[in-house]
Chains A and B, each alone.
Chain A
Amino acid sequence: MTPPRVRPAPGTIFAIVLGAAVPLAFVGVFFAWPVLAMVGRGFFVDGALDLGGFVEVLARPRTLRLIGLTVGQAALAAVICVLLGLPMAHVLYRLKFRGQRMLRALVILPFVLPTVVVGVAFRTLLRDGGLFGGLGLDGTFTAIMLALVFFNVAVVVRTVGTSWEGLDSRQEEAARVLGAGPARVWFTVTLPRLAPAIVSAASIVFLFCSTAFGVVLVLGGTRFGTIETEIYLLTTQFLDLRGASVLSVTQLVVVVLLLLLAARARGRRTALRRVDAALASRRPRLGDGPAIAVTLVVAVLLALPIVALVLRSLQTSDGWGIGNYLALGTTGSRNALVVTVWVALGNSLTIAVQATLVALVIGLAAALVISRQPRSRGLRRALAGFDGALMLPLGVSAVTVGFGFLITLNQPPFDLRSSPILVPIAQALVALPLVVRTILPVLTGIDGRLRESASVLGAGPGRVLRDVDLAIVARPVLAASGFAFAVALGEFGATSFLSRPDRPTLPVVIFRLIGLPGGDNFGMALAASVVLAAVTVGVIALVERLRVGTMGAF
Chain B
Amino acid sequence: MQTRKKTAGLALVGIIAVGVAGCGTTQTVSDAPAPLVLVTHDSFNLSEGTLEKFTEETGIEVEVQAAGDAGELVNKLVLTKDSPLGDVVFGIDNTFASRAVNEGVLADYASPDLTDAESQYLLPAGSGLEQLTPIDNGDVCVNVDHEWFAEAGIAEPVTLDDLVKPEYKDLFVTPAANSSSPGLAFLLATVAAYGDDGWQDYWQQLVDNGVKIDAGWSDAYYVDFSGPSSEGDRPLVVSYASSPPFEVQEGDTEAPTGALLDTCFRQTEYAGVIAGTENQALAEKLVDFLFSVDVQNDIPESMYVFPVNALATLPDGWSDYAEIAEDPFVVSPDDIDANRETWLSEWAAIATP
Residues from 34 to 50 in B contacting A, C-beta threshold 8 Å: 37, 42-45, 47
Contact in complex: A14, B219 (CB < 8 Å): no
Tell me the smallest distance from the CB of B71 to a CB of chain A, in Å: 5
Q: Which residues of B contact A336 (CB under 8 A)?
A: 45
CA distance A119 to B224 in the complex (A): 13
Are the C-beta atoms of A420 and B246 separated by less than 8 Å?
no
Contact partner, A420, options B25, B178, B179, Cβ 8 Å: B25
How big is the B interface, by class?
35 or more
Residue tally, chain A, CB below 8 Å to B: 79
State A15–B223 Cα separation when bound (angstroms). 56
B137 to chain A, nearest CB (A): 17
B301 to chain A, nearest CB (A): 6
Q: Give the Cβ gap from B313 to chain A, nearest Cβ, in Å.
A: 17
Interface residues of B in 200-255 (CB under 8 A from A): 213-219, 221-224, 228-233, 239-240, 242-243, 246-247, 249
Residue interface bits B1-42, CB-to-A below 8 A is 1, else 0: 110111011001101100110111100000000000100001
Residues A333 and B5 in contact in the complex (CB < 8 Å), given A222-B215, A403-B79: no
A335 to B221, CA, bound (A): 20
Knowing A361-B12, A517-B239 are in contact, say whether A497-B68 is a contact too (CB < 8 A): yes
Known: A334-B304, A410-B83. A120 touches B19 (CB 8 A): no
Q: Is the C-beta of B120 less than 8 angstroms from some C-beta in chain A?
A: no
A12 to B1, CA, bound (A): 11
Which residues on the A side are within 8 Å of B25 (C-beta)? 419-421
A-B contact list, 19 entries, CB within 8 Å: A14-B9, A18-B9, A22-B13, A22-B16, A129-B231, A217-B216, A220-B215, A229-B179, A238-B340, A239-B99, A358-B16, A407-B80, A425-B23, A462-B1, A462-B5, A499-B66, A502-B64, A515-B217, A517-B246
Give the Cβ gap from B51 to chain A, nearest Cβ, in Å: 11
Q: Is the CB of B178 within 8 A of A462?
A: no
A361 to B16, CA, bound (A): 7
Whether, in the assembled complex, A372 has its beta carbon less than 8 Å from a beta carbon of chain B, the answer is no
Q: Across the interface, which residues of B come within 8 angstroms of A222, CB to CB? A: 176, 178-179, 213-215, 348, 351-352
**B78: contacting residue among A239, A411, A499, CB under 8 A:** A239
Cα separation A425 to B19 with both chains bound (whole Å): 10
Bound form: Cα–Cα A124–B222 in Å: 9
Residues 480-520 of A, flagged 1 when their CB comes within 8 A of B and 0 if not, give 00000000000000001101111100000000101111111
Complex interface residues of chain A between 153 and 201 (CB less than 8 A to chain B): none
A373 interfacial by beta-carbon distance below 8 Å: no
Which residues of the partner chain A approach B217 to less than 8 Å between Cβ atoms? 515
Bound complex: CA A362 to CA B16 (Å):
8
Q: How far is the CA of A103 from the CA of B344 in the complex (A)?
A: 46
B64 touches A239 (CB 8 A): no
**Contacts A222-B176, A497-B68, A512-B42 given; does A127 touch B80 at CB 8 Å:** no
- Cβ-defined contact, A501 with B64, below 8 A: yes
Contact A358 B20 (CB under 8 A): yes
Contact A221 B229 (CB under 8 A): no
Give B207 Cβ to nearest chain A Cβ, in Å. Answer: 12
What residues on B are CB-neighbors of A362 within 8 Å?
A: 16
Q: Is A365 an interface residue (CB 8 A)?
A: yes
Tell me whether B146 is interfacial, beta carbon within 8 Å. no
Residues of B within 8 A of A410 (CB): 80, 83
* Bound complex: CA A518 to CA B249 (Å): 9
Tell me the bound Cα distance from A323 to B80 in angstroms: 44
Q: Does B169 contact A (CB under 8 A)?
A: no
A233 / chain B contacts, CB cutoff of 8 Å: 178-179
Report B61-98 CB contacts with A as 1/0, cut-off 8 Å. 00111101101100110111001010000000000000
B341 on the interface (CB 8 Å rule)?
yes
Instruction: For the complex, give the distance between the alpha carbons of A128 and B223 in Å.
Output: 10
The reply to whether the CB of A242 lies closer than 8 angstroms to some CB of chain B is: no
**Bound state CA distance, A22 and B224, in angstroms?**
50
With CB as the reference atom, state the residue of chain B lying closest to A410: B83
* Chain B residues, CB < 8 A from A420: 23-25
Q: Is B339 an interface residue (CB 8 A)?
A: no
* Residues of the A chain whose Cβ atoms lie less than 8 Å from the Cβ of B20: 358, 421, 425
B249 with A317: CB separation less than 8 A: yes
- A226: chain B residues at CB < 8 Å are none
Check A237 against B178 for contact (C-beta < 8 Å). Answer: yes
CB proximity of A390 to chain B, nearest CB, Å: 16
A417–B2 Cα gap in the complex (Å)? Answer: 40
* Bound CA span A420–B21, Å: 10
B302 CB within 8 Å of chain A = yes
Residues in B with CB closer than 8 Å to A31 are none
Any B CB within 8 A of the CB of A79: no
Cβ of A28 < 8 Å from any Cβ of B? Answer: no
CB distance from B323 to the nearest CB of A (A): 14
CA distance A159 to B16 in the complex (A): 25
Contact A236:B233 (CB < 8 A) given known A218-B215, A358-B20:
no
Within 8 A of B (CB), among A372-408: 403, 406-407
A57: interface (CB < 8 Å): no
Known: A361-B15, A410-B83, A500-B66. A221 touches B6 (CB 8 A): no
Interface centre among A333, A357, A425, A517 (most CB of B within 10 A): A517
Q: Which residues of A contact B246 (CB under 8 A)?
A: 333-334, 516-518, 520-521
**C-alpha spacing A520/B24, complex, angstroms:** 33
Give every chain A residue within 8 A of B37 (Cβ-Cβ).
418
Partner of B1, one of A11, A14, A240, A521: A11
* A406 with B6, Cβ < 8 A, contacts A419-B25, A421-B23 known: no
Shortest beta-carbon distance from A493 to chain B in Å = 11
CB distance from A256 to the nearest CB of B (A): 26
Residues of chain A with a CB closer than 8 A to B99's CB: 239
Interface check A110, CB cutoff 8 A: no
Given A11-B2, A129-B231, A239-B99, decide whether A407 and B79 contact each other with a Cβ distance below 8 A.
yes
Closest 6 CB pairs of A and B: A518-B246, A222-B352, A517-B243, A519-B229, A11-B5, A517-B246
Contact between chains at A14 and B5 (CB < 8 Å): yes
- In the complex, whether A424 has a CB less than 8 A from a CB of chain B is yes
- Nearest to B181 among chain A residues (CB) is A237
Report chain B residues within 8 Å CB of A240: 341
In the bound complex, do residue A460 and residue B1 qualify as a contact, i.e. CB atoms below 8 Å apart? yes
- Measured CB to CB, the nearest residue on chain A to B243 is A517
* Known contacts A460-B1, A462-B8; A517/B240 CB under 8 A: yes
Give complex CA distance A19, B178 in Å.
45
Contact of B223 among A127, A403, A421 (CB under 8 A): A127
